[in-house]
Amino acid sequence: MKIAVAIPCYKVTQHVMGVIAAIGPEVFRIYAVDDACPEASGKFIEEHNTDPRVRVLYNPENRGVGGAIVTAYKAAIADGMDIIVKIDGDGQMNPALLPQFVRPLLRKQADYTKGNRFFRPESVADMPPVRLFGNAVLSFLTKLSCGYWNIMDPTNGYTAVRTNVLAELPLDKLERRYFFETDMLFRLNTVRAVVRDIPMDSVYADEESNLKIGKVLPEFLRKHCSRLARRYVYNYLVRDFNVGTVYSLMGTLLVGAGSLFGLVQWIMSNHSNQIASSGTVMLAALPIIIGIQCLIAFVHYDVSNLPTEPLSTTLDDLQVSPLTSFNSDV
């Protein structure tokens, strides 16, 4: 299989050549994407590079990290690459870990792998507390909105993916900036791709993050809510109608009906100055209790409804002619 590496380049001239030099011989092609960098990263690489595997791509305008990666993804698909690994050019991702990210894809155990800095307690010892807390919150929100309850560290940008799975995604619709990794997970879930975490340590270089929590938090919450609603509609109403659908609809209906009945009875009791009877209280409480149990059952179903069969395996099988496969079996 042909393995490629994508390196988004924006103000990384101090580190990018060291990153390229550290990429092992198992990689067939290296895409360095100059995302309209003010430091002319692309020209810098062309002037100093001696590795024949490197191909510099240029975005005409700054499209963010997501836009740079999509440019590399499209090039990898067009060039017939089988796997593409994304490594940042700032030196915070160790290229020596690349085989660990690629191995589950080669063994057909996953379609997409990503780094997880939370797997080992020692890995987060040097992580700033604010960043640790923020990543924990984002991980939980991503579990809700994307449906991958088995992963952590959703904003980790060290990833590897099969290109035949990428070809099934609407690459031009992916988020371009800070929400790119989360949106990628959401899109992967819609095609039932298998995602696995790869343990890695956190490394912090001298670059300062441009991500301001107070500024992006409202936008992140809005986008997570949007993905959650879209995932529910698509997975439980459009593509399938299963026991999870029944649990969720019944739970919502019962909680809503019980709450509305209880509110009406409470208002009537206040106007009449009469205490509601125990039967009235039970009529309001019982649907709410049963409804909450149904919603808990729905969450349990959603957690257990993770994709288990890699999509790439199915896509590989479809590339073989059915008649050829039949004749070979006979």
Residue 69 · residue 112 · CB < 8 Å: no
User: Residue 204's pLDDT is what?
Assistant: 59
- Radius of gyration (C-alpha) of the chain in whole angstroms: 24
User: What is the amino acid identity at position 183?
Assistant: D
Cβ-proximal residues to 192 (8 Å cutoff; 6+ apart), any chain: 307, 311
142 phi, psi to nearest 5 deg = -70, -35
57 phi, psi to nearest 5 deg = -115, 150
Per-residue pLDDT of the chain (330 residues; tens, 9 = 90+): 899 999 999 999 999 999 999 999 999 999 999 999 999 999 999 999 999 999 999 999 999 999 999 999 999 999 999 999 999 998 889 999 999 999 999 999 999 999 998 888 777 777 778 777 877 888 899 999 999 999 998 889 999 999 999 999 999 999 998 899 999 999 999 999 999 999 998 765 555 555 556 667 788 889 999 999 999 999 999 988 999 999 999 999 999 999 999 999 989 888 888 887 888 899 999 999 999 999 999 999 999 999 999 999 999 888 765 544 444 444
Question: Whole-angstrom Cα distance, residue 311 to residue 168?
Answer: 10
Give the sheet arrangement for strand 3-9, strand by strand: 54-58, 29-34, 3-9, 83-86, 159-162, 112-116, 195-199
159 phi, psi to nearest 5 deg = -140, 160
Read off the pTM: 0.87
Beta pairing, strands 195-199 & 159-162: unpaired
User: Residue 328's pLDDT is what?
Assistant: 44
